[in-house]
Amino acid sequence: MGSVVALIGVLMVLLSGLSVGLVNDGVSGLKQLPVSSFAFQQDVDKTAAFTRSVVDVDAAETWRAADGVADAGPFGLSLVNTRTDGGLDLDLALFGVERDSWLAPEAESGSALTGAGQIVLPDTLLDEGVAVGDAVTIDQVGTELEVVGFVGGQHTFGHVDVGYVDLPTWQEIRAGVRPGEAVPEHAYQEVSAIAVRNDGAGPDLAAVDGAAGMTSLTLTQSFGASPGFTAETSTLQLIQFFLYAISALVVGAFFTVVTIQRKNEIAVLRAMGASTRYLLRDSLTQSAILLLGSTALGVGIGLLLGASVSATAMPFALEPAPIVAASVALVVLGMVGAASAVTRITRVDPLTALGGNR
């Protein structure tokens, strides 16, 4: 019984790490932004808001003037294919932000964005051989960007690395302007969304949306606009739900078998005057010791396996809160299964259990 509970604990840790890893790989770039919400084009498809929305840069002024808004600024996002001058192919999510604004990233190494034609990348690309001074060329338009710095931590969107560029550069790339070509006037007026930072409780999003003719999503809601995010998280949540349900049934079934084997002993105790409460307390104490010990062992093994998996390219991340929640759920559901098994047996008439009817 202990080994089965431990194996379920291992599986819970691995599923938790995979869930967190996929979430981070899909939206860690958005999590790194000091943003409370995004305002998109009115009635935009919320599952692909960043890549389908087009709003006017001037809409930022409407949001800056709204009550409960500390600051607002234009924000651009595009998915592009690039190649470094070292021959490395990189799929990037380009984040277009205004230089020296609250949205601009602070470089951990190298420098921040100071001019056009520059790009700041995550330091995870250092392991792939990208360095300050390298040139990154956008395949679709041939625009060449100079790597000037790196930001620390994971910065990804839609399972590709984020590249930060200044807003005019992003607007030119989005418009498909090749080097030397004239830039259409409308290009510098269009962005993907308006990024909003709350002041205190924040603005009434619905009211400001109505005045500006836009559709707002909180930062958490905007995660659903990352490619594949909703499908991946829903699938893993469904798997975890069934794992919890199966763990309760499995543990309950094991305790039922054990309790049935102890039916005569329980009947003797009942015949001697033992109450149902006493029998439940005795059995649940044993169950708790087994569940806590086995779960701790399983979580420990899972953490060791997770640490080795984290070193690979697999999107896997261990965080305390999900693991603790999964462990508590396993113990609680196991106790529910154990209580159900014991309650069923303690209701049996002592004489019948002892064979007094024969």
Same domain, 249 and 189: no
DSSP reduced 3-state for 139: coil
Same domain, 281 and 331: yes
Same domain, 124 and 5: no
Neighbours of 287 (CB within 10 A): 24
Same domain, 159 and 70: yes
Neighbours of 246 (CB within 10 A): 13
> Of 176, 209, 225, which marks where a domain is finished?
225
| 49: in domain | yes
Are residues 136 and 83 in contact, defined by beta-carbon separation less than 8 angstroms? Answer: yes
pLDDT at 198: 94
Strands 190-191 and 156-157: unpaired
Would you state the structure tokens that stand for residue 322, as one six-digit string? 């999900």
Closest CA to 11 of 228, 247, 189: 247
Total structural domains in the chain?
A: 2
Task: Give 10-residue mean pLDDT values along the chain (358 residues).
Answer: 88 87 90 96 92 94 93 95 92 95 93 93 92 93 95 93 96 91 91 94 92 94 90 86 79 76 75 77 85 92 85 78 84 80 66 57
DSSP for 38-102, written as a single string: EEEETT--GGGHHHH--EETTHHHHHHTSTTEEEEEEEEEEEEEEEETTS-EEEEEEEEE-TTST
Same domain, 17 and 141: no
CA angle 42–105–153, rounded 5-degree value = 105
Beta-bridged to residue 205, according to DSSP, are: none
| 28: in domain | no
pLDDT at 29: 94
pLDDT at 19: 85
Task: Give 270-277 contacts, CB < 8 A, sequence gap 24+.
Answer: 270/346, 270/350, 270/353, 271/350, 271/351, 271/354, 276/343, 276/346, 276/347
Same domain, 4 and 42: no
pLDDT at 21: 87
Which structural domain range is residue 265 located in? 1-23+230-352
pLDDT at 264: 74
CA-CA-CA-CA torsion for 30, 32, 34, 36, nearest 10 degrees? 40
pLDDT at 348: 61
pLDDT at 345: 63
| 287: in domain | yes
Considering the entire predicted model, what is its pTM? 0.83
Same domain, 41 and 118: yes
Same domain, 205 and 238: no
Distance, in Å, from the CA atom of 179 to the CA atom of 172, rounded to the nearest integer, reads: 9
Same domain, 3 and 107: no
| 347: in domain | yes
List alpha helices for the chain, DSSP H.
2-31, 49-52, 59-64, 167-174, 205-212, 219-222, 229-261, 263-271, 276-310, 320-346, 350-353
> Of 200, 225, 250, which marks where a domain is finished?
225
128 alpha carbon, distance to own chain's centre:
25
> Of 225, 256, 287, which marks where a domain is finished?
225
